Amino acid sequence: MSVTINDIAKRAKVSSATVSRVLNNSGYVKEETRQRILVAIKEMNYTPSAIARSLSKCETNTIGVIVPDITNAYFGEIIKGVSERAERNNLNIILFNTDNYLEKEVRALKLLKEQRIKGIIMTPGFGEEKFNENYIKTINTLNIPIILVSADVKFTKLNGVFVDNIKGGFEATNLLIKEGHTKIGIMTGLLSSEPVMDRLEGYKRALKENDIDFCSKYVLYGDFKLDKAYELTKKLLKEKDRPTALVVCSNMMTMGVIKALKEENKDIPRDLAIVGFDKIDFLDMVGLNITYMEDCPIELGRSSMDMLFDIISSNEDDSVRRRIIAPQIVVKGSEKKI
């Protein structure tokens, strides 16, 4: 067992209450006594137990963070943003990585509840069946403030910080139109994903607003993964009537598209103009300047932690908070019409 507050109390010949006072800087303590206690703490290498404190105060200084894929830099950035702000507010983070498994999300939620954390920041995974009844029920009966980041959960009206993906899809498409493209395709991710649906919606709106007919043939249904994108692109390149430009809904898929184009010796943007989504750090450096829509995940992280803190601090106010951040467009040249 480690040193406790009582050990310190004995050593300094005071009561544990007094030790507690100097630990928390609460109440008056004679300077002399305080010093004696401080010395005892040093000498015995005492560290107060957050556990005991939590139980006693009926509150922790911990929040939960749930992400679908910790190896993805996008979520790394989110966590970094959360972590920055959490640190500022003296909050610790319990992390769960779900590998996109629904059950793992549910499990994480339950474990976090056991930990009596102050709140949860979560990016739901993009599994096929996010309408799962058990899932929704778990969230609804959680009774802990929860902030969704980046992705929404259908059939709930939860707090969250999101990206305006309709705008993203719109801007991406619009840029291509302004460049003179009229045959514009889009490669989606799984349609169970809100962001993708929204981007698709934005895409359609941009076409409509510019009197370009929507052509269902130009919609390529990907699954966020590189391989599928690669395949789809390969197939696309074989078509006679194919788009001159492509909006690609995720960075992994952008990589797949590029891979296929390279293999077929096609030039970007000459043979196919591209506007992607999400930053791909390494592309510039190898001379591949791909225009993309940028989510600023670190900002999403910061913003969600701020929102959570705001909720925690304002006890009564239980209104639903939703913030929607507009993505940035980063123009690099791959959208050009040549």
Partner DNA sequence: CTGTTAGCGCTTTCAC
Partner DNA sequence: GTGAAAGCGCTAACAG
By CB under 7 A, name the binding residues for DNA.
Answer: 1-2, 4-6, 13-18, 20-21, 23-24, 26-34, 48-49, 51-53, 55-58
Please state the closest distance from residue 71 (CB atom) to a copy of itself, in A: 4
User: In the complex with DNA, which residue's Cβ is closer, 4 or 289?
Assistant: 4
Distance CA 128, CA 100 (A): 10
Distances (CA, A) of 91 to 23, 37, 99, 262: 18, 27, 25, 47
Which of a copy of itself, DNA, none does residue 283 bind (CB under 5 to 8 Å by kind)?
A: a copy of itself
333: left (phi over 0), alpha (psi -120 to 50) or beta: left
Q: Should residue 193 be labelled a site residue for a copy of itself when binding is judged by CB under 8 A?
A: no
Q: Should residue 319 be labelled a site residue for a copy of itself when binding is judged by CB under 8 A?
A: no
Per-residue contact string for residues 213-242; x = within reach of a copy of itself by CB under 8 A? -------------x----------------
Q: Should residue 47 be labelled a site residue for a copy of itself when binding is judged by CB under 8 A?
A: yes
Q: Where are the beta strands (DSSP E) in the chain?
A: 62-67, 92-97, 119-122, 146-149, 159-163, 184-188, 219-221, 245-248, 273-277, 291-294, 322-325, 328-330
Q: State phi, psi for 81 to the nearest 5 degrees.
A: -60, -45
N residues, the chain: 338
Which of DNA, a copy of itself, none does residue 80 bind (CB under 5 to 8 Å by kind)?
A: a copy of itself
Quick one: which segment of 10-18, 22-30, 96-104, 189-197 binds a copy of itself (CB under 8 A)?
A: 96-104
Please state the closest distance from residue 280 (CB atom) to a copy of itself, in A: 6
User: In the complex with a copy of itself, which residue's Cβ is closer, 33 or 72?
Assistant: 72
Please state the closest distance from residue 1 (CB atom) to DNA, in A: 4
Quick one: which segment of 20-28, 33-41, 73-81, 319-327 binds a copy of itself (CB under 8 A)?
A: 73-81
SS3 of residue 329 by DSSP: strand
Distance CA 183, CA 173 (A): 11
Q: Which of 29, 76, 183, 225 binds a copy of itself (CB under 8 A)?
A: 76
Cβ atoms within 10 Å of 158's Cβ, excluding its own: 18
Which of 40, 3, 34, 7 has the alpha carbon at shortest distance from 21?
A: 34
Which of a copy of itself, DNA, none does residue 15 bind (CB under 5 to 8 Å by kind)?
A: DNA
Tell me the site size for a copy of itself, rule CB under 8 A. 55
Do residues 19 and 48 touch, judged by C-beta distance below 8 A?
no
Measured over the CA atoms of residue 124, residue 249, residue 326 and residue 92, the dihedral's sign is positive
Please state the closest distance from residue 56 (CB atom) to DNA, in A: 3
Q: State phi, psi for 222 to the nearest 5 degrees.
A: -95, -175
Quick one: which segment of 86-94, 194-202, 212-220, 236-244 binds a copy of itself (CB under 8 A)?
A: 86-94
Which of 178, 187, 59 has the alpha carbon at shortest distance from 118?
A: 59
Which of 146, 142, 94, 141 has the alpha carbon at shortest distance from 120?
A: 146
Distance CA 250, CA 225 (A): 9
Which of DNA, a copy of itself, none does residue 320 bind (CB under 5 to 8 Å by kind)?
A: none
Do residues 37 and 11 touch, judged by C-beta distance below 8 A?
no
Residues that bind a copy of itself (CB under 8 A): 1-2, 45, 47-52, 54-55, 58, 60, 62, 65, 70-73, 75-77, 79-80, 83, 87, 92-97, 104, 110-111, 113-116, 141, 143, 226, 255-256, 258-259, 262, 280-283, 285-288
